[in-house]
Amino acid sequence: TGTLTVGRPRLTAFEVVPGQDEAAVLAAVASVQSGSEHPLARAVVAAAQERGLQPVAPDGVRAVPGRGTEGEVQARSYLVGSLRWMDELGVGLGTLADRAKSLQNDGATVSALAERTTDGLALRAILAFGDEPKPGAREALAALRARGIRTVMISGDNRGAALAMAQRLGLDAADVRAEVLPGDKAAQVVALQQGDGEEAHPGGQRPSAAAQHGAHIVAMVGDGVNDAPALAAADVGMAMGNGTDVAMHAAGITLMRGDPMLVAAALDISRRTVAKIRQNLFWAFFYNVAGIPLAALGYLNPVVAGAAMALSSVSVMANALLLKRWRM
- Residues 136, 137, 138, 143, CA torsion sign: positive
Residue 69: closest CA among 50, 45, 47: 45
pLDDT digits (tens, 9 = 90+) for 244-266: 788 888 999 999 988 999 999 99
Residues 6+ apart with CB under 8 A from 297: none
274 CB-contact burial (10 Å; exposed 0-12 / middle 13-18 / buried 19+) = exposed
**Kind of pairing, strands 10-16 and 59-64?**
unpaired
Q: Which CATH number fits domain 10-130: 3.40.1110.10, 3.30.450.20, 3.40.50.10310, 3.40.50.880?
A: 3.40.1110.10
Does residue 321 register a pLDDT over 90? Answer: yes
- Distances 243 to 18, 154, 237, 296, 316 between C-alpha atoms, Å: 40, 17, 13, 58, 37
Please name the helix (run of DSSP H) or strand (run of DSSP E) that holds residue 253, with its range, or none: strand 253-255
- Contact in structure between 312 and 284 (CB atoms under 8 Å): yes
- Say what the pTM is: 0.75
Q: What is the DSSP letter of 183?
A: G
The residues facing 63 across adjacent strands are 69
Name the helix (H) or strand (E) containing 128. strand 120-130
Q: Tens of pLDDT along 273-315?
A: 999 999 999 988 888 888 888 888 888 888 888 888 888 888 8
Per-residue pLDDT, 214: 58
Q: Name residue 116's beta-bridge partners.
A: 121
CATH number (3.40.50.2300, 3.40.50.1000, 3.30.300.30, 3.40.50.300) of 137-263 reads 3.40.50.1000
Residue 105 has pLDDT above 50, yes or no: yes
CA distance 312 to 158: 59
The DSSP secondary-structure symbol of 133 reads B
- Residue spans of the domains in the chain: they are 10-130, 137-263, 266-325
